[in-house]
Structure 1
């Protein structure tokens, strides 16, 4: 049951502090898209320029996740958690107070570094503390991330036109998390046994592309929904619709926990990808788009966690090696696709947003379908 992780008092502090951290991670990730119109007004930016803040955030996360495996072995879990919280707090403070756009981008990169360190380190730590059955705890962590992502856009909406207020609030809350992780008891780093199974790197590459496209869609809807809807509904209402998307994503993650016990991971990811593509296509009708984007969130909710279970089944002897590679590459998705969408929207108009996202959905379903055929019978 999802409540089981709370029953062990020795492990409960790790999970509770992780909840606090992932609430803030979700809120931070969901802030940037709704704040696009405010950034543009404050710094006099074009559509293709404002998306650079998303790229900076995810590039920072990519760098820290890519290095996390080595850093954990060198410094341990606790030092990385402290460093991650400090980087994220400092970065968000800088975003709130930056007097120039280039400085804001640099601070978003720093916040992204902290985001990545907290994300990968807490995921690995919870998996270690709750093994051999960490799935209920990890599902709860993902759901709490979604709760934070619902709150983030609401903070932007109620703070308009002062874009810096939500970042200041989250920066202060992250300092509290920093104090908590500094006092947290964590296990020592374990050294994995040597593996002899050869790695099918072509299949690893397919999982990398799968996660690259998935994170591009998840972040793309959050980042561009406001721009797509603002001309029809107004900036404030459009920003609040982003919370509807994150709310559906969160509900879907709670529902995914019992459902994933009955449906094989590969089949569940394939069905979720197909559903997401359908509703992305239907989002071209702008008056229905807020609800179509919410249904996209509901569909993609199980993909990240269930995809990791699928990855583990496909590489039972190499999961520790390939998982950080896949997680790091996933963060490159918005780094690459957000500027491309920004350029296209700047030339054609905001009506192109659902078309660009639908194209990503087509690519995702194609890659997932190929992986499904290649791993048939194993996942």
Structure 2
């Protein structure tokens, strides 16, 4: 197989199988770190938009460059991890992410273009971590509870996304001079203002670069169980035309579309939330204050994933997915039709609905694929590029029709996820019945 995410059908060595808890805890740290780094974008987008007087579409280039790394880097990352293994792959991903954070220092002096390069490099490192960690979690325990286990680790990813906006708001937005005086400046004074605002990014991202390097060293030294590749996921998936059988699996193709749209919707809402909350007809809060509410959005996903960890052992994944998608659509419609705090809290509450979506779609899409699981999981990781495309589409609609109306874009994404959940509502139930009979 070409893709390292692919090792979802791999098996642990006997030593690893006897003690899966400690490795799972260690891998969960990776989920936390990339959640923190990803959600900081939600703070930087309005910050850079104000500094460089960008349109919404231009500001969404941040997410476009960030999430396009999943499409560009996933396959090379898979081949890298196939060569060097999961643990070394995680170390490499941390080192690359640290380099991306370090680029923010020269970017603060050079302009928006270098910021975009920094976002891409940072995301390239996170992509390597994603490719290694998601399938690792699926094999560290009972396969029947893979969705529940992935939900638990995603909860710690959400802890990182919850803390990110609050930390970024305090360290980045509060250090700048404030974008409110931008209209009164021109010439050299404007350039000095932009330089001062951009410099607010330097310290936090250099600190993150150092933390990532320390974490890379720790992961290089710690002992994790080796995951070997079973014969079923070996050369057969490399064979010419192997993509054909994979893409012939309808539930995988629909699941990949679901991942694309889910990630796109979740990222898009977070990206526009500070601007939405700060709109005159909503709350008119300053970006520094609005950033705290972005933490509530991601915090809802965190709380929901802890709940989902227990609930998903008893509830059909497809039915749970359909119910949460329908709730997300209703909340987005309320955010579009209402003003003031009801609109704000409706949009924030979508975070709770997002809680179980990624792990549920991911595990449903891989259901009963056997030797094709490896290649299929690579396709799903590439589908995360939805985080680049959907925010860009919403930015275009926001520029043309207004910010509040533009939330029709993520609402449309959840309509498809609702369809996917309903179509495969009884997937696992049918499998259990078949085994019992």
TM-score (norm 2): 0.78
Aligned to 1:315: 369
Aligned to 1:179: 217
Structure 2: runs of 5 or more not aligned: 1-16, 177-199, 237-241, 433-437
Task: Report if the CA contact (8 A) 2:301-2:355 is conserved.
Answer: yes
Aligned to 2:69: 60
Aligned to 1:335: 388
Aligned to 2:309: 257
Name the CA distance, whole Å, in 1 between partners of 2:65 and 2:54.
16
Residues 95-149 of structure 1 deviation map (CA, whole Å, 9 limit, x = unaligned) = 3441221111111111011011112212223333445565565333211111110
2:222 is equivalent to residue 168 of structure 1: no
Task: Report if the CA contact (8 A) 2:70-2:123 is conserved.
Answer: yes
Summarize the Cα distance change of 1:374–1:250 in structure 2 as closer, same or farther, 3 Å threshold.
closer
Decide which moves more: 252-261 or 313-322: 313-322
Per the TM alignment, residue 360 of structure 1 is displaced from its structure 2 partner at its CA by 2.4
Structure 1: runs of 5 or more not aligned: 1-7
Per the TM alignment, residue 305 of structure 1 is displaced from its structure 2 partner at its CA by 1.3
Task: Report if the CA contact (8 A) 1:55-1:339 is conserved.
Answer: yes
Aligned to 2:286: 234
Residues 75-114 of structure 1 deviation map (CA, whole Å, 9 limit, x = unaligned) = 2122211210011111012134412211111111110110
2:264 is equivalent to residue 210 of structure 1: no
Name the CA distance, whole Å, in 1 between partners of 2:409 and 2:203.
31
Summarize the Cα distance change of 1:296–1:85 in structure 2 as closer, same or farther, 3 Å threshold.
same
Name the CA distance, whole Å, in 2 between partners of 1:164 and 1:364.
39
Name the CA distance, whole Å, in 2 between partners of 1:17 and 1:373.
33
Per the TM alignment, residue 348 of structure 1 is displaced from its structure 2 partner at its CA by 2.6
Name the CA distance, whole Å, in 2 between partners of 1:137 and 1:205.
23
Residues 149-180 of structure 1 deviation map (CA, whole Å, 9 limit, x = unaligned) = 01110022212122444333322221121111
Q: Which has the larger radius of gyration?
A: 2
Task: Report if the CA contact (8 A) 2:97-2:212 is conserved.
Answer: yes
Task: Report if the CA contact (8 A) 1:30-1:152 is conserved.
Answer: yes
Aligned to 1:296: 350
Provide the alpha-carbon RMSD of the alignment.
2.6
Per the TM alignment, residue 376 of structure 1 is displaced from its structure 2 partner at its CA by 8.4
Aligned to 2:101: 92
2:160 is equivalent to residue 106 of structure 1: no
Task: Report if the CA contact (8 A) 2:256-2:365 is conserved.
Answer: no
Summarize the Cα distance change of 1:137–1:210 in structure 2 as closer, same or farther, 3 Å threshold.
closer
Partner SS, residue 232 of structure 2: coil
Summarize the Cα distance change of 1:228–1:324 in structure 2 as closer, same or farther, 3 Å threshold.
same
Task: Report if the CA contact (8 A) 1:84-1:114 is conserved.
Answer: yes
Task: Report if the CA contact (8 A) 1:15-1:137 is conserved.
Answer: no
Per the TM alignment, residue 58 of structure 1 is displaced from its structure 2 partner at its CA by 0.7
Aligned to 1:3: none
Decide which moves more: 281-290 or 10-19: 10-19
Name the CA distance, whole Å, in 1 between partners of 2:362 and 2:58.
33
Task: Report if the CA contact (8 A) 1:277-1:362 is conserved.
Answer: yes
Name the CA distance, whole Å, in 2 between partners of 1:256 and 1:358.
22
Aligned to 1:5: none
Name the CA distance, whole Å, in 2 between partners of 1:188 and 1:17.
14
Name the CA distance, whole Å, in 2 between partners of 1:213 and 1:244.
22
2:411 is equivalent to residue 351 of structure 1: no
Aligned to 2:134: 123
Task: Report if the CA contact (8 A) 2:252-2:366 is conserved.
Answer: no
Name the CA distance, whole Å, in 2 between partners of 1:129 and 1:177.
22
Name the CA distance, whole Å, in 2 between partners of 1:244 and 1:31.
14
Per the TM alignment, residue 184 of structure 1 is displaced from its structure 2 partner at its CA by 2.4
Residues 312-349 of structure 1 deviation map (CA, whole Å, 9 limit, x = unaligned) = 335355333312211221x2102212222112212233
Per the TM alignment, residue 207 of structure 1 is displaced from its structure 2 partner at its CA by 1.2
Summarize the Cα distance change of 1:164–1:371 in structure 2 as closer, same or farther, 3 Å threshold.
farther
Per the TM alignment, residue 63 of structure 1 is displaced from its structure 2 partner at its CA by 2.5
Task: Report if the CA contact (8 A) 1:92-1:107 is conserved.
Answer: yes
Per the TM alignment, residue 356 of structure 1 is displaced from its structure 2 partner at its CA by 2.5
Aligned to 2:79: 70
